Structure 1
């Protein structure tokens, strides 16, 4: 039977999700238990649309928890080579409002509003001959999407995948990675654990990634393109190690956005230092009026102040998450005026052409009217 026939999968000619609008409603199709505190949530489009994204990108979930709107970004863990479902893999974080809500409430059939995939931590084209994937904790998700993609495509690229975890029970995708390595001779998987789990003594490499370990596992380091993702301290340590080993950082890529760095509801206005001398200082101290049309409130914003920060200082709470111009959560329409927007991939050229801006990374060049 043709797997694309009615009743199984929609035809591959199905329209794409987010092709017309960067926000859509998806339906949870299933929940998988990955480890004792990690779950994968699979989503599909209710009308059979398929998903088009790049391995390594993230999506933004728009949720309402305890009556409060909360947005949270999660890296897509599924590969774009499997376009009928899209998944995120979430670790339960102590005190984390979103991760705990997802673990406790999101079940098959639940509908969730999701923003289109974004992010620049993706496999560069053309494909490399050799890759090194380095990850720790839940930072494994983007490089897992990359690994699944390369595996599905039958890539002959030589891949070394090194993952750090606290204990063997905390290794995300452990069995899947072992299975991939068992059938793909070009993929080598190495796990490093800091210690044992009560029910399992770890017999592999122990401790944390070091220069000595990296040299032993990857003797041809300088021939590889490296992708790194994990907690900020882990990525900083990796940068120090590869730099000390003389690695060409032009071939080094890391996920520059820590998705847990700004817990929902705790964003604060950023202070910007303004020079106090000369005519340039006077220009930088100029102020503009920002009218939030739907909120019916006008606030004052400095010439070197981000529009989001001016709104937060004035008591407004527009949707926002990363404050780095990456996630697209604060995207809104600018009805009038002009801004200097220095984003990090959180908005597309067609959206800019349509008058949309990211208020977290935009400073005013004139009085503004914002549709918010």
Structure 2
């Protein structure tokens, strides 16, 4: 068990706490395996009726995966280590989704990338007034993963899903619920009360007693331009809009051109996939290819290592990203596709 994952029993509730607050609970491989171990132990334990997943500290559930460590591995020429991490992370995401007992995720504060993977597939997903839920992957030369091509392509996500995928910006609690990324809003100061209530009551009753309407925020007014089926179409529509739309277009143009094209294609294909597992298999293909490209290491460098916010993307423009380059991201990975044969327990509307 990882020292950065605290596993405890509180009556009928099994609690998993991601305990790496200085790093905003960013997931390491050991943490992923620790969560999987806890779920395996509780699956057939009649003494555990409900599982709760939360993050230590007040900054967020989880800021995603440890991408700085990922960059070090890439620069060292280690493709196998990162692929093992992603295979196990996606196994964890699917295990949360298909767990045979209720799983309540407390998506308080920052919930990005891998944070949505561990929290966004739970049966009962809680956001608070502090929640900022997003997929920033195009900012680091990648594309949204951990089931994003499933979540962001559901009808409920609509144009918000496209906006999240292409801008990398997070949504607030109200938009997260409308887009099918969360289920309930509970004020952050009542989360301890919720945890205590879950020891005595089933999740539906405990959540109903404490849930409130969230205030508006980011993601509430996404431009119609994001209904366009291609990145180029979105940008053209934004360029023809007002000042706010043109500012959004300028933001998108700072992202990895390859990441943008792959993100849009993954979301398009995701709409036709039969399950979360199929989406995770598709995303393993994407990450397996991305590990060997310039943009992923460069994006992590610019955003999180040197922090100069000046990535030098290759190719540098959308016009230089041809269909063959995008298609390569969807080819089978070394070692074969992700094998997750069990069906998910629930589907996102």
* TM-score normalised by the chain length of structure 1: 0.28
Query: Per residue, is there more helix in 1 or in 2?
Result: 2
What is the TM-score with the length of structure 2 in the denominator? 0.29
Bigger fraction of residues in strand: 1
Question: Higher relative contact order by CA 8 Å / sep ≥ 6: 1 or 2?
Answer: 2
Higher Rg: 1
